[in-house]
Amino acid sequence: MGNRSDAPSPGFPGLALSANKQGWRMSAEVVKRLESRARQAEDVIGWLKEQIASLQPAAQNAELQKLQEENRLLQKDVDHWMKALVEAEERNGVKQVSIPSQAAAAAVPQTAPSAPPPTPSADTKATPEKKGEKKAKPKQKSASKSEGKPAVGAGDGDVVDIGLLDLRVGRIVSAQKHPDADSLYVEQVDVGEPETRTVVSGLVKFVPVGQMQNRMAVLLCNLKPAKMRGVTSQAMVMCASTPDRVEILDPPAEAQPGDIVTCEGFVRRADAQLNPKKKIFEQVAPDLKTDGERRATYRGVRWQVPEKGDIVSQSLANVQIK
C-alpha cells in the first residue's frame, strides 16, 4: 500500500486567474478548465476514500494519517478553486455554475434560489413574515392594480420610463438674468405649490427676457436641487432643442399651474426626488422628442394634460426634448 503510483494526480497545474483594476475577467475556456480541475480533485478524494476503506488493521494507522492529510489538503484546494470559479462566473454575468458535487454545493450555499410559494396568494400572505425582506417591499403593494410587478418609485425591480418623472405645468411668474452668469435666467415658477420654486435655465441666448415673463411651461419637478453659479435650481424647464434653437414647450391653453403631464401607457409613479445615482432622467431623456406635428412625445407616445390637450413646441418638429 506504500506505493500509490496509480493514484490520480492531486495537482492543479496551469490554473490562473487574470485580474485587472476593475476585477476578474474570465474567458469561457478558463471557466471550463476550473470545472474540469474541480472534478479531478473530487475523483482524487473518492480514490483516497477507497484506499482508506481497503487498509488492513495492521498497516492502517500510518497510511490512514497520510491519506487523511492528503484528503484534507485536496478538499481545501477544491473549496478554494470552486470559490474562485463561482466568483469568476458571477463577474461574467453567470449567477452560479451547475457542478453536481458536494464540494460545489458547499462552496455556493447562499446562491441557491429558494423554492417559490405554490400560489400568488400564498406569497402575498408570507411576505410580511420574511426576515430578509427589504424595507422597500411596502412600496410594491401600491403597484398598478392591473399588474403584479412593482410600479412605485425607482425600486430595484422597477422599469425605468417616463412614469418616474414628475412633469407638471408651471407658470413662470418672473425671470431675470443670473447676477453671475450672462447665459442664465433665474426664474420664479408657480407649479401649484404654496410657494414658487426657483429655477435656473440657460435660455438667455434663445428666449428674450420679455418672453420669459408670466408664461406657461412644463417643468420637471423631481430632479435633485442643484446649485448653478451660487443659485439653487429646484426644477427644469422642458424645451424642444437643436444646437441653434431652443423653444420652451407650451401646455394646452386650459392648463393651470400644478396640472400633471401624463403619457398614455406609462403609469405615473414619480418619487418626490429622483436618485441621481440611478441616472433615471439620463436613461429616459434619449426617448423624449417632438414628433412631426411638434407634439412632445416619449417613445412616440404623446405627452398630455388629461382632458385638456397635448404639449407642443412652437416650431421645432422631430427634435430632442431636454
d(CA 54, CA 159) in angstroms, rounded, equals 61
Short-list 204, 208, 248, CA closest to 229: 204
Mean predicted lDDT score pLDDT of the chain: 77
Residue 104 has pLDDT above 90, yes or no: no
Domain limits of the chain?
19-109, 163-321
In terms of pLDDT, which residue wins out, 234 or 139? 234
Taking 3-state DSSP, the helix, strand and coil percentages for the chain, each rounded to the nearest 5, stand at 30, 25, 45
Q: What letter represents residue 299's amino acid?
A: R
Residue 57 has what pLDDT? 58
Residues in the chain: 322
What stretches of the chain show up as alpha helix (H) in DSSP? Answer: 28-54, 57-91, 102-107, 120-126, 137-140, 280-284
The CA dihedral of 278, 236, 151, 126, to the nearest 10 degrees, is: 60
Report pLDDT digits (tens) over 241-270: 999 999 999 999 999 999 999 999 999 999
Question: In this structure, are residues 181 and 203 in contact, taking their beta carbons and an 8 Å threshold?
Answer: no
What residues does 296 pair with on adjacent strands? 290
Give the pLDDT of residue 8: 52
Query: pLDDT (tens digit, 9 = 90+) per residue, 188-212?
Result: 999 999 999 999 999 999 999 999 9
More confident residue, 122 or 292: 292
Q: What is the pLDDT of residues 264-304, one digit of tens each?
A: 999 999 999 999 999 999 999 999 999 999 999 999 999 99
**Amino acid occupying residue 23:** G
Per CATH, the number for 163-321 is 2.40.50.140
Q: What percent of the chain shows pLDDT beyond 90?
A: 50
